[in-house]
Amino acid sequence: NTFSSTRVAQTDYGLEHLAYRLNRVSAQVARKAADDVTAQTGIRRYVAGAMGPTNRTLSVSPSVERPDYRNITFDELVEAYTEQAKGLLDGGVDILLVETIFDR
């Protein structure tokens, strides 16, 4: 499950440098499982790469005292989601599943 595997979300755990790899390897594991089932059944199986929200937000300030404050920039989010999508696609997913992301 790659739901929270962006560089942004992994920073809290000191694992931001592994974000691309987490996504690529997770996708490879899922791809192998799907291909194994396809080989056994003859019915094609697809792999979706899950892309969920980060623990930072552009749409709501994390500070009640500073409603104008944001703890991440748009460009940082674009970079994080691009890296995640690249890892998932390089790992062999068929589709990107964007879920429960409230910043647009």
User: Which pLDDT value is given to residue 29?
Assistant: 98
Cα angle: 79, vertex 83, 87; to 5 degrees: 170
Largest CA distance in the chain: 59
Name residues whose C-beta falls within 8 Å of residue 26's C-beta, 6 or more positions apart in sequence: 1, 2, 5, 49, 88, 91
* pLDDT grade for 71, boundaries at 50, 70 and 90: confident
Q: What is the pLDDT of residues 2-36, one digit of tens each?
A: 888 999 999 999 999 999 999 999 999 999 999 99
- Assessment of whether the complete model's pTM goes beyond 0.85: yes
User: Which pLDDT value is given to residue 63?
Assistant: 77
Cβ atoms of residues 88 and 96 within 8 Å? yes
Q: How far apart, in whole angstroms, are the C-alpha atoms of residue 88 and residue 25?
A: 8
E strand residue ranges, 52-94: none
The yes-or-no verdict on residue 104 having pLDDT over 60 is no
User: Which pLDDT value is given to residue 57?
Assistant: 80
